[in-house]
Amino acid sequence: MGVDEVGRIQFVNNADMTIEKIQSSPNLVRANNSIPSDVADNALSNLHGVVSVSYTGLFLALLLFGSMVLITNTVEEKSTRVNEILCSTIQPQQLFDGKILGNVMLVGVVLSLVGVLVFAAVMLLSINDSFSRTDLLATFIPPMKLTHWLIFLLGALLLYAPMLTALGSLCDDLQEVGSTLFPVSYLVSFGALPALLYAFFSPHSVLTQVLTLIPPLTPYVMIARSSDLPSWPIYVTALVVLSMSVILVRFVCLRIFNNGLLAERTAMGFRTFFRLTTRPVN
């Protein structure tokens, strides 16, 4: 056997050993379009924080969207006297509940479209072998946190939609909306939003525990705590408090809606609100 042939055999053997080392090494890049495992893990870890902020922003956006649609429709129906036609065929209570249910369904449709886009984004990211589809789904759509988020989104809609519907029934045109909605505007601007920001950055503080159990603030605070849920006793208490608040708010707002629906040029103020709530529902 010649020297050249021996050298050729050694070269082939060394090449085979090098290929085996590359294939068995977890620290080397597997392919041109692949990402090292440690980089992928860091990316997924960073995504958890981004997803938490995104869910909070989506909550606020959906509430704002639902509120604008609800108040606009209520005022337009009154200004065009469509509500008089509706009240001649159905009870004001049915109209009131139908508006709230329709608003919840509308927000649900928008949320479904957002869910389709998120799922499509997960599928695109999972094309790369370094990102597991299971890990991406657990990051973008975590089952427990998503269930928690949906519960308190629904709670916020059922809590604030009656208020907006009742106050909208007192407006004769869209120009009066700003002055009529001041109770809800002040509550959200100076109560709910600051509480949400505080709970987001200090989920374990004593003040956050207290804010969690204040009914108008409960949905906002609990959404802010989605990434770090409270203990079960506080969680269950918050659910009970929110449920009782929804029932009470509906009872009070139904009276305002029933008495303000056919009223014209109603003077705004806390005295007016109190007077309308003390009148019985026809």
Q: What are phi and psi of 35, to 5 degrees?
A: -115, 140
C-beta neighbour count of 180 within 10 angstroms: 24
Q: Which residues contact 91 (CB under 8 A, 6 or more apart)?
A: none
- Straight-line distance from the first to the last Cα atom of the chain, in angstroms, rounded to the nearest whole number: 110
Q: How far apart (Å, rounded) are the C-alpha atoms in residues 42 and 38?
A: 6
CB 215 within 8 A of CB 159: yes
Tell which wins on pLDDT, 222 or 174.
222
Q: Which helix (H) or strand (E) holds 183?
A: helix 182-187
Task: Please give the structure tokens belonging to residue 274.
Answer: 């109190």
Tell which wins on pLDDT, 227 or 272.
227
CB 159 within 8 A of CB 101: no
Enter the pTM of the model. Answer: 0.77
- C-alpha 63 chain-centroid distance: 8
CA dihedral 186, 191, 197, 201 (to 10 degrees): 170
* pLDDT one-digit tens code per residue, 137-195: 666 777 888 899 999 999 999 999 999 998 888 887 777 777 777 778 888 989 999 99
Report helix angle 270-278 to 232-260, nearest 10.
90
Determine whether 199 is exposed, middle or buried from the number of CB atoms within 10 Å of its CB (0-12, 13-18, 19+): buried
Residue 103 — very low, low, confident or very high, per pLDDT cuts 50/70/90? very high
| Cβ-count burial 103-133 (b if 16+ within 10 Å, e if not) | bbebbeeeeeeeeeebeeebeebbeeebbee
Residue 243 pLDDT: 96
Tell which wins on pLDDT, 122 or 30.
122
Tell which wins on pLDDT, 7 or 210.
210
Q: Which residues contact 252 (CB under 8 A, 6 or more apart)?
A: 166, 277
Residue 278 pLDDT: 65
Q: Is a pLDDT exceeding 50 seen at residue 236?
A: yes
Q: How far apart (Å, rounded) are the C-alpha atoms in residues 53 and 51?
A: 5
CB 55 within 8 A of CB 222: no
